[in-house]
């Protein structure tokens, strides 16, 4: 009973000093609950079955990510407990001096951890339940769900998972604390606050050489993920710049830790101004003894910035793309004139490949006039006499040297001018005019546009069905035929109608808008088109049709956008909290150790404003140092991400970066302010 009272008294007395610890635990619990409660929140959403399947996939992936997150939070809690023990070394030493056994001290820590765990779980779960209601609104908004059935939801499964995961974490902390106390010696506990970590002065010349080599290596890693991206032949090549980046970051911190003090000491006017000498020596000492931690924090911040920016950009871009890239309700295509030698299709399928999409629909009693208010038909042609390499002409060797992984023998898609203008009119896009000896290339996939423009700028002529054509424009025109959520058109050649040889048609398109104004009516029409009865009729007649619709594209893109967004937010916020918390705990530990040094400054006549300013500068530089290097990394990391996500577009990148910056300011900045206030309280002179 006495040990319980002592434990409660210790928690109450040290609450201000442990604000970071409590704050991190509560935040970790609430975020863990919120993302694991999404499964329960989606039960009441009125969505289609395909959307519900996407939501189930998302929740399953979030559940898997939670296992990884639990390891991060477990490491963070154990790391934080080191600060708690170190902060109270003298207290434990006094307990031993008064005759208390190590077993009883371990019991006190056990009770304190139990109480802290219970408080953090109760408060964190309460906050999580509250925030999860807003998450329900976010999920429903993302999936355009009917919220008429919305009600307050408590997820028992998420609560149980949170209790189990954090219960295991707190148990590990208890074991860790017991082990640490059992290894402590009385003299070490009593004089722990008088000890300082040994600082080994590094050779400045060696540090300079290491810094230059590391910077050059890091620059090469940056090149590999930007300018050298096209040279990567397979996915495993990405590990090379990652390894180079990690190793270079470590040695940059290692070398700077030995150079910072020397650099500032060379400028005596600044070094001896105010408390700069004291502050800089403190900062040098911290960085010198936390090179590995600073590297990990920097890399975690880098991952946070890239993950948040890229995931939010992907979500925003896909949402914006739906309006632009899926302007029609449905698109049905059919292969035409399948080659007799093609072994991928049956003889019956080859025989029916002379029919257009509309003819096939009418043959299975699907009345196009009944379901579609407007539609267009068009053909796409190709010939082995016109391939991708033919459009590059004299620039082929130059392009092949840079982009050797491309397939240059791919047949080009060809479309008649009149057919494209029908599509453009339906889509609300620009229509074109052509002379008989001209051609236009339309494309919207940025990477291929850049390549094709090389040939167009050189005014390369091409031969199409015996006609020699020159480009009307010296660059690709923006356009597409297939509706999609991404910029996937790598190039279609538009030619005059008289140029085309009809015997070379290889695909027929049927693009239409439904006779329906509401989403519900469009869903009913799609259910008829995609019904089992329709599928059976197509199989009976050996008809090959591929169909996609605006609704299906919207569901798929929304699902992918939501999946990436939630996983990005989950990992990004956890990484950000972990990075900030580790820095904060390290700084609080240092403030506890340096309390006597600040008291010495007071005895020398330094006023409180100067001391507080020195403390503020010290903490600010300590927080900014890894963040600045992480931001530099992120400039190139985000550039690499834009290459990967090129088909989705990067028009929404700036808003995503701004949103990421807001997260950084709120969470990282919040930890910085709390750290400063807690450190200020720790070093404050007791009267």
The bridge status of strand 492-495 relative to strand 413-416 is parallel
Q: For the whole model, what pTM was predicted? A: 0.74
* Domain annotation covers residue 348: yes
pLDDT confidence of residue 382: 92
pLDDT of 137 higher than 70: no
Q: Does 669 map to a domain?
A: no
Q: What is the pLDDT of residue 521?
A: 80
pLDDT of 333 higher than 90? yes
Cross-strand pairs, 331 = 511, 548
- Residue 471: pLDDT band by 50, 70, 90 thresholds? very high
Q: pLDDT > 90: what percent of the chain? A: 16
pLDDT winner (highest mean) among 80-84, 251-255, 494-498, 622-626: 494-498
List Cβ neighbours of 261 (8 Å cut-off, separation of 6 or more): 280, 281, 284
User: Is the backbone of residue 466 left (phi > 0), alpha (psi -120 to 50) or beta?
Assistant: left
Q: Please give the average per-residue pLDDT across 482-497, as a whole number.
A: 90
pLDDT attached to residue 179? 72
What was the pLDDT predicted at 685? Answer: 59
pLDDT attached to residue 645: 67
Is 367 a member of any domain? yes
CA distances from residue 287 to 196, 412, 628 in whole angstroms, order as listed? 14, 58, 14
Q: What was the pLDDT predicted at 487?
A: 83
Domain residues for the domain of 544 are 327-553
Domain assignment present for 415: yes
Check pLDDT > 70 for residue 308: yes
Confidence of residue 442 (pLDDT cuts 50, 70, 90): very high
Stronger pLDDT, 144 or 631, i.e. the higher one: 631
- Please give the average per-residue pLDDT across 573-602, as a whole number: 80
Q: So what's the pLDDT on residue 234?
A: 61
Give me the pLDDT at residue 564, please. Answer: 78
Residues 292, 326: Cα–Cα separation, whole Å:
49
436-457 b/e with 16+ CB inside 10 Å = b?
eebbbbbbbbebbbebbbbbbe
| Nearest-angstrom CA–CA distance, 371 and 330 | 11
Question: Is the CB of residue 454 less than 8 Å from the CB of residue 392?
Answer: yes
Q: What percent of the chain has pLDDT over 70?
A: 79
pLDDT band of 507, cuts 50, 70, 90: very high
Q: What is the mean pLDDT of residues 234-239?
A: 69
For the chain, the average pLDDT equals 80
In a domain, 355, yes or no: yes
* pLDDT band at residue 416 using 50, 70 and 90 as cut-offs: very high
Distance in angstroms (rounded) separating the CA atoms of residues 63 and 474: 51
Contact 552, 330 (CB under 8 A): no
Q: Which residue has the higher pLDDT, 200 or 490?
A: 490
Query: What's the pLDDT band for 505 if we cut at 50, 70, 90?
Result: very high
Question: Of residues 327 and 36, which shows the higher confidence score?
Answer: 327
Task: Give pLDDT, residue 230.
Answer: 61
* Most confident segment among 191-205, 228-242, 622-636: 622-636
Q: Is the pLDDT of residue 44 over 60?
A: no
More reliable by pLDDT, 188 or 399: 399
Q: What is the 8-class DSSP label of residue 592?
A: H
Where residue 17 falls among pLDDT bands split at 50, 70, 90?
low
- Which of 296, 488, 499 is CA-nearest to residue 386? 499
Which among 380, 399, 381 is positioned nearest to 389, based on CA atoms? 399
Q: Which of 47-51, 91-95, 377-381, 432-436 has the lowest mean pLDDT?
A: 47-51
pLDDT tier, 217 (very low <50, low <70, confident <90, very high otherwise): very high
pLDDT at 1 over 70: no
Three-state secondary structure call for residue 91: helix
Pair (332, 185) in one structural domain = no
Query: Is 246 inside a domain boundary?
Result: no
Q: Tell me: the pLDDT tens digits for 71-80?
A: 888 877 777 7
pLDDT at 256 over 60: yes
Q: Nearest-CA neighbor of 35 among 62, 9, 10, 13?
A: 62
Instruction: Look at residues 190, 215, 242 and tell me which one is the last residue of a structural domain.
Output: 190
**360: Cβ–Cβ under 8 A, 6 or more apart, which residues?**
334, 352, 538, 541, 543, 545
Q: How far is CA 436 from CA 71, 465, 467, 470, 495, in A?
A: 67, 13, 9, 10, 8
Residue with tokens 């089992």: 532
Q: Which of 137, 160, 190 is the last residue of a domain?
A: 190
632 vs 559, which has greater pLDDT? 632
Give yes or no for residue 130 having a pLDDT over 60. Answer: yes
Reply yes or no on whether the pLDDT at 335 is more than 70.
yes
Quick one: average pLDDT of 31-38? 83
Runs of H (alpha helix) within 14-101: 19-36, 38-41, 49-87, 89-97
> Within a domain: residue 488?
yes
Lowest mean per-residue pLDDT among 339-353, 372-386, 549-563: 549-563
Final residue in a domain of this structure, among 491, 518, 553? 553
Helix axes 669-683, 550-593, angle to 10 degrees: 10
Segment (H or E) for 311: helix 291-325
How many domains, the chain?
2
Can you give the length of the chain in residues?
687
Is residue 132 within 8 Å of residue 41, measured between CB atoms? yes
What DSSP state is assigned to residue 229? G
Kindly tell me the burial class for residue 120, based on how many C-beta atoms sit within 10 Å of its own C-beta (0-12, 13-18, 19 or more).
buried
Q: Note the pLDDT of residue 269.
A: 66
Q: What is the pLDDT of residue 469?
A: 93
Q: Which residues contact 464 (CB under 8 A, 6 or more apart)?
A: 383, 386, 414, 439, 493, 495, 499, 500
Per-residue pLDDT band at 560 (split at 50, 70, 90): confident
Residue 519 has pLDDT above 80, yes or no: no
User: Does residue 662 belong to any structural domain of this protein?
Assistant: no
- Cα(513)–Cα(371) distance, integer angstroms: 9
Distance CA 214, CA 250 (A): 9
């Amino acid at each position: 009973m006495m040990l319980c009272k002592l434990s409660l008294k210790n928690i109450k007395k040290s609450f201000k000093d442990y604000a970071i610890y409590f704050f991190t635990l509560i935040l970790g619990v609430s975020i863990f609950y919120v993302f694991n409660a999404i499964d329960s929140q989606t039960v009441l959403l009125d969505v289609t079955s395909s959307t519900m399947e996407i939501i189930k996939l998302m929740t399953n992936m979030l559940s898997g990510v939670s296992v990884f997150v639990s390891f991060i939070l477990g490491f963070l809690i154990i790391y934080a407990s080191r600060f708690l023990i170190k902060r109270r070394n003298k207290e434990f030493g006094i307990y031993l001096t008064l005759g208390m056994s190590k077993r009883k001290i371990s019991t006190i820590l056990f009770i304190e951890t139990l109480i802290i765990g219970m408080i953090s779980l109760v408060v964190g779960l309460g906050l999580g339940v509250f925030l999860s209601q807003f998450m329900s609104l976010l999920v429903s908004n993302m999936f355009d769900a009917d919220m008429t059935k919305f009600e307050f939801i408590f997820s028992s499964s998420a609560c149980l998972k949170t209790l189990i995961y954090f219960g295991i974490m707190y148990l590990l902390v208890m074991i860790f604390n017991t082990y640490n106390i059992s290894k402590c010696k009385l003299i070490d506990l009593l004089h722990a606050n008088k000890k300082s970590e040994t600082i080994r002065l590094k050779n400045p010349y060696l540090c300079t050489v290491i810094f230059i080599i590391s910077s050059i290596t890091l620059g090469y890693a940056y090149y590999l993920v930007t300018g050298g991206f096209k040279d990567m032949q397979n996915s495993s090549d990405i590990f090379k710049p990652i390894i180079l980046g990690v190793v270079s970051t470590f040695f940059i911190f290692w070398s700077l830790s030995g150079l910072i003090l020397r650099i500032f000491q060379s400028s005596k006017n600044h070094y001896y101004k105010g408390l700069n000498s004291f502050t800089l020596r403190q900062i040098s000492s911290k960085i010198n003894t936390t090179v590995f931690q600073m590297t990990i924090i920097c890399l975690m911040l880098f991952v946070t910035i890239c993950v948040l920016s890229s995931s939010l950009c992907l979500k925003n871009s896909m949402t914006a793309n739906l309006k632009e890239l899926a302007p029609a309700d449905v698109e049905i295509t059919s292969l035409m004139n399948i080659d007799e030698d093609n072994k991928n299709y049956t003889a019956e399928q080859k025989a029916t490949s002379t029919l257009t999409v509309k003819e096939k629909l009418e043959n299975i009693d699907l009345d196009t006039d009944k379901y579609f208010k407007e539609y267009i038909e068009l053909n796409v042609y190709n010939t082995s006499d016109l391939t991708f390499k033919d459009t590059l002409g004299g620039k082929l060797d130059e392009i092949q040297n840079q982009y050797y992984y491309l397939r240059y023998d791919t047949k080009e898609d060809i479309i008649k001018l009149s057919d494209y203008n029908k599509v453009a009119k339906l889509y609300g896009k620009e229509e074109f005019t052509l002379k008989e000896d001209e051609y236009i290339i339309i494309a919207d996939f940025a990477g291929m546009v850049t390549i094709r423009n090389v040939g167009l700028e050189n005014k390369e002529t091409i031969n199409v069905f015996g006609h020699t054509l020159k480009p009307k424009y010296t660059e690709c025109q923006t356009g597409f035929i297939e509706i999609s959520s991404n910029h996937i058109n790598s190039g279609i050649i538009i030619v005059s109608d008289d140029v085309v040889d009809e015997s070379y048609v290889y695909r027929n398109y049927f693009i239409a808008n439904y006779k329906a104004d509401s989403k519900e009516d469009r869903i009913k029409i799609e259910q008829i088109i995609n019904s089992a009865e329709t599928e059976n009729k197509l199989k009976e007649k050996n008809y090959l049709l591929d169909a996609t619709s605006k609704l299906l594209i919207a569901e798929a893109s929304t699902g992918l956008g939501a999946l990436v967004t939630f996983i990005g937010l989950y990992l990004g916020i956890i990484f950000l909290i972990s990075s900030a918390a580790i820095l904060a705990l390290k700084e609080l530990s240092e403030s506890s150790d340096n309390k006597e040094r600040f008291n010495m400054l007071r005895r020398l006549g330094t006023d409180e404003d100067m001391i507080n300013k020195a403390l503020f500068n010290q903490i600010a530089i300590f927080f900014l140092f890894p963040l600045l290097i992480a931001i530099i990394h992120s400039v190139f990391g985000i550039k690499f991400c834009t290459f990967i996500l090129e088909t989705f577009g990067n028009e929404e990148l700036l808003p995503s970066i701004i949103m990421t910056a807001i997260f950084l300011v709120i969470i990282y900045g919040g930890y910085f302010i709390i750290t400063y206030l807690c450190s200020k309280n720790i070093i404050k002179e007791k009267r």
